[in-house]
Homo-oligomer: A and B are copies of this chain.
Amino acid sequence: MANIREIAKRAGISIATVSRHLNNTGYVSEDAREKIQKVVDELNYTPNALARAMFTKNSKTIGLMVPNISNPFFNQMASVIEEYAKNKGYTLFLCNTDDDKEKEKTYLEVLQSHRVAGIIASRSQCEDEYANIDIPVVAFENHILDNIITISSDNYNGGRMAFDHLYEKGCRKILHIKGPEVFEATELRYKGFLDGARAKDLEIDFIEFQHDFQVKMLEEDINSMKDIVNYDGIFVFNDIAAATVMRALKKRGVSIPQEVQIIGFDNSFIGELLYPSLTTINQPIEALAYTIIELLIKIINGEGVLIEDYIMEVKLIERETTISLKDLDPASI
């Protein structure tokens, strides 16, 4: 692959001028520009970003750590993060941690070695591992260290909204299927939901899933639920798990929402494909992704940012798995 020296030689001009032209930095005569561009086009020359990065100390790459890219919520996040990053001139390294601390640690080293300009750590399981990283980091959902910004949705409030909604719809025998304890986000949803119930003096049952979506694994969790039919309202910690729960219920002949109302969390695309379509709490993916990228790039550029929690508003998306009792067609019960 050609290099800048080759271009300079063929154009009969020094490499400094070629560099200036390529980067549009400093003066270059129109005449020189043309000559250079001609050779650049002929040789299909592309500047070596690695060499450039070594000098400028900015590789223009960002490491994106996600639990798993096949998780519908995280891949929607990844999709828009990718777009924002690209618009800013950054390319993403894709890192699936599988919610596994060891894998996260390994990737952390890989990203470090590639001298990424910044790291987005979603649902991190690490702490001190980030202490000696001198690369800008922003955390999504799980907190890492005091000096690392955390971005998340207002999960607590979302949980509370979920409860209020079910309650409003008339549910009184309520179950919450909660996520693994190590997920701060689902833990907050649980707390919010619980506080909502307490405010109404209502007792609530809980089941904890041992893991998040990893194609097929949820089914096991579902099988462990026995008396799931005894409730009239269920709040599931995310949409994909809710889909699995819905499927299990239908298999047992339970009709939704007539017999059990369901509410999920995320508002990932899957909710709209289900039948009945899933009532859920929307996480503002665009706002989350935008905030993550903006903050990270500000830190990369040495601009000051407030070290604090950045919490984005959620909102209820009412669809078909919840329904007002008065709207119920008696015949369908």
Chain A residues within CB distance 8 Å of chain B: 1, 44, 46-51, 53-54, 59, 61, 64, 68-70, 72, 75-76, 78-79, 82-83, 91-96, 109-110, 112-115, 132, 134, 215-216, 240, 243-244, 246-247, 250-251, 269-270, 272-275, 277
Contacts and interface: CB of A to CB of B under 8 A. Distances in A.
A262 B274 CA distance: 16
B82 A269 contact: no
A70 B59 contact: no
Given A46-B112, A50-B50, A83 B70 contact: no
Contact of A53 (B46, B50, B272): B50
Given A91-B114, A269-B216, A275-B246, A70 B61 contact: no
A134 B1 contact: yes
A70 B59 CA distance: 26
A47 B113 contact: yes
Contacts of A110: 91
A28 to B, nearest CB: 20
Contacts of A51: 54
Contact of A273 (B1, B44, B78, B247): B247
